[in-house]
């Protein structure tokens, strides 16, 4: 399977529509390209109009669920890249990934949650998916989402 076929399969598994315009929450755009750099807005685990993984990781949300949240949010970012570029084959690199985990006071495994996004990027894009990353634990996220992430990609 090429990258786009893999993306389509992942979307089906997550309940995301590869061709539907993704809903966002405010007066901004989900993606902007300047030169080769493509900036993507913060993505939460939204499927259709629903945020599917909510709560505080380590308290009302399990780590496994948080990983699913990171996977779905990352998938949304990849769908945006696919829709913008026409194909993931045109992604030269994921340059940076920022992961925000809505955390319980003593939860310190933000890296493990972020790994679910990093793993997806590598699975679909190979070497082009290997990125620089920052992950932190925040107090609250929009819509009570368990995870939010944004990224910068480089177009081929």
* Binding mask of the shown chain, residues 7 to 36, with x at each position contacting its own copies by CB under 8 A: ------------------xxxxxxxx-x-x
Quickly list DSSP for 93-116: EEEEEEEEEEB-TT---HHHHHHH
Q: Which stretch binds its own copies (CB under 8 A): 3-11, 40-48, 71-79, 81-89?
A: 40-48
- Does 150 contact its own copies by CB under 8 A? yes
Residue 148 binds its own copies (CB under 8 A): yes
- Crossing angle of helices 110-125 and 63-85, in 10° steps, is 40
| Residue 5: CB minimum distance to its own copies, A | 22
At its nearest, how many Å lie between its own copies and the CB of residue 101?
8
Dihedral angle over CA of 66, 67, 72, 78, nearest 10:
130
Q: Nearest to residue 114, comparing CAs of 143, 71, 62? A: 71
Question: Shortest approach of its own copies to residue 22 CB, angstroms?
Answer: 13
Which range touches its own copies (CB under 8 A), out of 4-12, 68-76, 81-89, 114-122?
A: 114-122
154 touches 93 (CB < 8 A): yes
CB 63 within 8 A of CB 83: no
**What are the residues binding its own copies (CB under 8 A)?**
25-32, 34, 36-37, 39-42, 93, 95-98, 100-101, 103-112, 114-115, 118-119, 122, 130-144, 148, 150, 152, 154
């Amino acid at each position: 399977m090429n990258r786009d076929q893999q993306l389509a399969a992942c979307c089906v598994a997550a309940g995301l529509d590869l061709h539907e315009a993704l809903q966002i929450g405010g007066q901004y755009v989900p993606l902007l390209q300047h030169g080769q750099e493509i900036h993507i807005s913060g993505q939460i685990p939204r499927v259709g109009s629903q945020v599917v993984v909510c709560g505080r990781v380590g308290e009302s949300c399990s780590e496994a669920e948080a990983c699913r949240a990171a996977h779905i949010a990352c998938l949304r970012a990849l769908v945006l890249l696919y829709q913008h570029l026409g194909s993931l084959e045109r992604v030269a690199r994921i340059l940076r990934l920022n992961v925000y985990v809505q955390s319980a006071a003593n939860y310190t495994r933000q890296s493990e949650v972020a790994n679910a996004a990093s793993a997806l990027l590598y699975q679909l894009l190979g070497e082009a998916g290997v990125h620089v990353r920052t992950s932190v634990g925040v107090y609250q996220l929009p819509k009570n989402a368990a995870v939010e992430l944004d990224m910068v990609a480089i177009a081929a």
